[in-house]
Structure 1
Amino acid sequence: MKAIWPALALTALMIVGSACLDDSITGTRTLTFSLSADPTSTTVGQTVTFRYEGTGTRIQGVVVDYGDGSVDSVFTPGTVVELEGNFVHEYGASGTFQAVGRLETVQAFLSDTVTIQVNTP
């Protein structure tokens, strides 16, 4: 289990580095969030790119649950008003999966769901 933490820390660092954070805009922002995937139909072992985009007042982060027991997340200092980026995921089994993304702010949250069909090769 200890061997997995360095890999998780590195993954989180790479994700934060690739996410677009905008904390230069102040004031109240309408809470919006969308999650999309490309492709939405794939085969076992192929990667799916999940794109998230959101706005809100004092965004704290985004969490994506891929529906297969795996989760990715990116967290911010709570001053961000716009957040966008990508996660890449590979499904290890066939089936229909509901990937749920959740944008969290200091006061509220908003979620979006994408259905992914994974077929055997």
Structure 2
Amino acid sequence: LLKLGFSKSKCDPSLFIFSTSAATVFMLVYVDDIILTGNSPSLLQKFVTQLNAIFSLKDLGTLDYFLGIEVKSLSQGKLLLSQDKYITDLLTKVKMEDSKSISTPMIGGQQLAKEGTLFDDPTLYRSVVGALP
């Protein structure tokens, strides 16, 4: 990407930026997924062509969902980012989709003890805790 003229973001090591006086392109790379956006369709297509010559790319079309974040296009080029679906799917996974929401999931000051009730599936518990945003 650096050879294509992109510079690495100082804030996010996954973000690369290509900028000229006329256009800006942002590329977010996460493992084998890439999000490419910018204000110049011709420049975007140029980079897609260049990347496709190096890697086997598959265009998945409009961005709807990425890394647990739902993306909706609004008017004037704005985007709405939401994790509602991610959280709903997580609640469904642990059969808590009908639970009442509360601001704090545990009584304040409560002490956990080793002799407490064990979880039926500790792997599921670790999986859910690890999935929390």
Q: TM-score, normalized by length of structure 1?
A: 0.22
**RCO (CA 8 Å, sep 6+): is it higher in 1 or 2?**
1
- Report which of the two structures shows the higher radius of gyration computed on alpha carbons: 2
More strand by share: 1
Q: TM-score, normalized by length of structure 2?
A: 0.21
More helix by share: 2
